[in-house]
Structure 1
Amino acid sequence: MKLKYLLLFIYSSVLLNIGISQNTYCLNISTTDNGSSVTFDWSLSASQVVAASIEVIGTGDLNGNSEIIGGFGQSSYSGSFDWSKSLSGIITFTIDDSAPLGVVLPSPPNTRFSPDCSIAPITLSTFLATKYTDKSSKLEWSTLSEFNSEYFGIERSNDGASWETIGKVAAAGNSNKELHYTLIDDRLPLMRSNEQLFYYRLRLTDLDGTFKYSDIKGVNFNRLYTSKVNIFPNPTLDRINVDLSGLDPESGNSEISMFDMTGQLILRKKVAGNGIELIDTQNLSPNTYNVVIRQGKRIYQQRVIKL
């Protein structure tokens, strides 16, 4: 397992050793997880007194609240630092996401800050879409971290192919705490016909215009069948809808797996909530596949034919 971190050195006015004046410099760290802490090094130069702070954002398997330990013998770093000359040697910091400290990993040598913050602007942890009323859908999502994030674009489709933007929600900008967002979609068409599906996705957008899309979620209005799990269309050409609306979300998250007829695993996906999951099948060979949904000790299976 890999631990991934983004270290942010945020300051008001400073000239770093690579000679570019910025407001934020970044350091990306990725290391194998075989202990409870990660140690890394860097060298730093500044031209004046620095009003600054250091923050840590976990972008993968980081758990808990992180802190920075080391360097000048302080347990954290914020406030004003007088780095009026180039700082000689290497300063060592340790990111610890558990207490007490465990094994300290070997540190990569001569790591330097960079203005290239090439990291996904938003780490999305959950995205749920559910029927709210007969005329509206409720969208809920959470982020574990945000860096230079600007907004969430909410897009809707009735066929999973053509999309329209139905709203925007401002993002936090920078955060290393879990944040929660909600949007109610009661826009036209207000009346949903029987068995009509609406698909939703989030456009996670950075301040510089960089963006990525979330997974697609679906809402089925006027659900007519009574089975706990339903998969459609079946047979299918390019995608299937796995409708988990009949499951009780209080019973925990679900896991969707797809196998071919030899038992080989094709895909596995963990799902929160009880909405509709859209699964792309266009790259699968024409055949029969077994879709298995697990929620706790309960197992639901259905065969799907790919044309």
Structure 2
Amino acid sequence: MKKTITFSIGFLLSGIALMAQNPLTPAKGFNVMVKNNLTISSNETDGPMAVGGNLTIKGNYQVNIHSVGTYTGVEGKLIGLYVGGKVDYNAGNTVKVDNSRYVKIGDLSTSTVNNGNQGTETTRIVKKTLVTDINTIRNQNPRIELSTTQPVESVQIQKSEKLDMESIFSQLQDNSTLIANCQSSVDLYDTDKASNANKGKITANEIPSSGRVEVKLTRDKVNFLDLTGEQLNKISTLVFKDNIQPNSTTPFVINITEGTTINWNSIDISGIGDQQGQYILFNFPNTTTLTLKSRNNTIRGTILAPNADFEKTISSNIDGQVVALSYNQSGGENHYQVFSADVSGCQTNNKSLPVELATFKAQATDQQQTKLTWSTAQESNSSYFAIERSQDGKSFETIKTVAAQGKSTATKNYSFLDTNPSFGVNYYRLKQMDTDGTIHNLRMVSIIIDSPENRLHAVYPNPNHGESFAIRVQDADTQVKMISTQGIEISVSTHQIESRTLQVTPSHRLQTGTYLLRIQDHSGVYTKKVMIL
């Protein structure tokens, strides 16, 4: 029944046992780690939360309610809530960040940070408004409310504390893939039939209608159970046979390797407490849509679903970390039982995968086309690469194939120019085909392409690193001013590099964040945003 998983592999595979380390290490001790967008309606998270995209507030919520977490900012303060994008203040009252934890936000264009009249009250972050009365501003709902006074200027994410979500999730996806390649190593038993050690032994295809199953772990080794999504949902209660329970040297990994869309009926893992959650891992390497809506049982274990949009509506809790592409939580709690065991992944068919992908990047050109570049550190039996494009990150179409080097131990560089991207967000996925016909999904990137009406005064590259960038203009004497989200003007110099292109160079290296460009020419005044990484 074992299905070989061959997702993104970004490092060399050698030997049968790989990655003898904690596979959740890239999550940096966050209770919740989300690559794209996070929506919170209720209830709370014991530890810190990190989201690479936007945070949408739809209800009351508490963050970092226990004194846990490890990731610090430039001030040396522990971060309770990290938002790589912006905050959408949709509904609800208060998101409380407890235990004197700091908040970091990448895009403050929708937010105002307020420390009261004297600048010494506990920090509140609210929706940007034209209101000037400080007390009115502070009492807006919904809002983010800290239990400490954080300097206003420190809320903006700085370059040195920025989380590289592309790299983090590339590692998490690789780890998920390697773990999923490991074969089942535990025995299952039907407790209704088991009157002796072997009589009730069953396969994963023989889960009884009662849904009650015993699993026998082997002490002092990693124990794997391989299930399909359908088999997972047939188990309502799981008991550990002979009272051999998961611990740091006897972790239990449940690989759900089949099922891209799973409506998960939560399992009652009986006979253990919350603390055992740190030694149990539910691994969903192929799942792209995961919902937790049925059976109100506590999930004891970490959920590793780095390619999935995850929605949780049941009111019970998760005793473990949550790793997902996106996360929508409208019920229950996330407990800080971070995964605390080493798990060695397994390679495919005892041989290395054919490509070690080093980079895959997308960049908008001045013509608002997409330039894709990627490089490999080594190749073996590689036939070609396929580039797929999507507007929603879910439904992809192949737009180009590029011949691979085939066999190489040196760095090889590839590129492709997409001359017809869609306006708005474009997602690109890179696949690789072996000479034997095996297909490997490698990595996905996204980029924003301006529509024709926005191409005048297009900024490129955007995002950039704040050293210099270009603007397409219609007048050679166009005037440009750069302003921070706090209203501070940044000194810049400009010079014409082409007939309709100005190069803009700030007087000093800029901090990470979003800035406004005020562009004035004969036809009027325009405003553009530029993101500094």
TM-score by structure 1 length? 0.36
Structure with larger Rg: 2
> TM-score, normalized by length of structure 2?
0.22
Structure with the bigger percentage of helix:
2
